[in-house]
Amino acid sequence: MRLLLLADTHVPKRARDLPARVWDQVERADAVIHAGDWVDVALFDELATRARRLIACWGNNDG
């Protein structure tokens, strides 16, 4: 099983998007775990669309 752990991505406040290399890994992983601070729900939605399985929690900069 391939897991990808992400956290504190802060898109779009600190970056416009995730790097292409990260998106490639999102699509290859069996499960993506985001440990919070995605900041904009649009990134969460994109992760949910592109990942086979997304497990995520809220961070102090979310919501």
Look at residue 2 and tell me if it is in a domain: no
Look at residue 27 and tell me if it is in a domain: yes
Look at residue 42 and tell me if it is in a domain: yes
Q: Output the pTM of the full model.
A: 0.91
User: With the CA atoms of 41, 20, 49 and 5 taken in that order, what torsion angle do they form, in degrees rounded to the nearest 10?
Assistant: -70
Q: What is the pLDDT along the chain (63 residues), one digit of tens a residue?
A: 999 999 999 999 999 999 999 999 999 999 999 999 999 999 999 999 999 999 999 999 997
Number of domains in the chain: 1
Segments forming the whole domain that contains residue 14: 10-54
Look at residue 22 and tell me if it is in a domain: yes
